[in-house]
Amino acid sequence: MFKHVIDDNIELRLVDMDHSEEMFKSIDSSRKHLRKYLPWVDITKSSDDTKAFIESSKKQYAVNNGFNAGIWYKGEFAGVIGYHDINHSKKEVSIGYWLDEKYIGKGIMTKACREFIDYAFNTLELNRVEIRCAEDNLKSRAIPERLGFTKEGVIRDGELLNHGYVDCVVYGILRREWNR
């Protein structure tokens, strides 16, 4: 199984069926927190739903269209980070992520994003990485801002969430900016 150690406390593991129970428990325990910004939370009702996500992630990986990794903090499942579909012709990708509420504020996601960005530019040889965040999700927005992304604009009604449409802030960074 793919495993990438970031530091003494954080590692990334390619999502696997063995993680479905831990992933579901994490989602379930942070449901109120996560549902505010993630439309799939309410339809994730059992570990079978996380298994379906893992199966689709494995298919995505098999066709070289990106992957999702579980984030482990001090040996415990903490969240997920992944590439949305890679646009190979334009050499760009978008990163999505979520973190169990009890792990927020420890720098975990910033470190995980940094690794995914490095991999996108230095291994996949992409040119652009994008992160989109709900405009009022200040904790999520802080990550691309901390990593030197440029705020490129706002997409009005950019995502339909459980409580209605929200505007999305689009952040981007180019390979030449990341590797300077």
pLDDT in tens, 103-154: 999 999 999 999 999 999 999 999 999 999 999 999 999 999 999 999 999 9
Backbone angles phi, psi at 83, to 5 degrees: -90, 135
Asked if residue 64 is part of any domain, the answer here is yes
Alpha helices in 2-161 (DSSP H): 20-29, 31-35, 47-62, 108-122, 138-146
Read off the pLDDT of each residue in 153-161 and give the average, rounded to a whole number.
Answer: 96
pTM of the entire structure? Answer: 0.94
Asked if residue 157 is part of any domain, the answer here is no
What pLDDT, on the 0 to 100 scale, is given for residue 1?
52
Asked if residue 180 is part of any domain, the answer here is no
Asked if residue 32 is part of any domain, the answer here is yes
Asked if residue 43 is part of any domain, the answer here is yes
pLDDT in tens, 71-108: 999 999 999 999 999 999 999 999 999 999 999 999 99
Confidence of residue 163 (pLDDT cuts 50, 70, 90): confident
* CA pair distance 159, 141, nearest whole angstrom: 15
Confidence of residue 48 (pLDDT cuts 50, 70, 90): very high
Do 15 and 3 meet the contact criterion of CB atoms below 8 Å apart? no
Q: How many domains does the chain have?
A: 1
CATH of the domain at 52: 3.40.630.30
Asked if residue 95 is part of any domain, the answer here is yes
Q: Which domain holds residue 14?
A: 3-130
The neighbour count for residue 53, using CB atoms within 10 Å, is 19
Asked if residue 69 is part of any domain, the answer here is yes
Asked if residue 29 is part of any domain, the answer here is yes
What pLDDT, on the 0 to 100 scale, is given for residue 2?
79
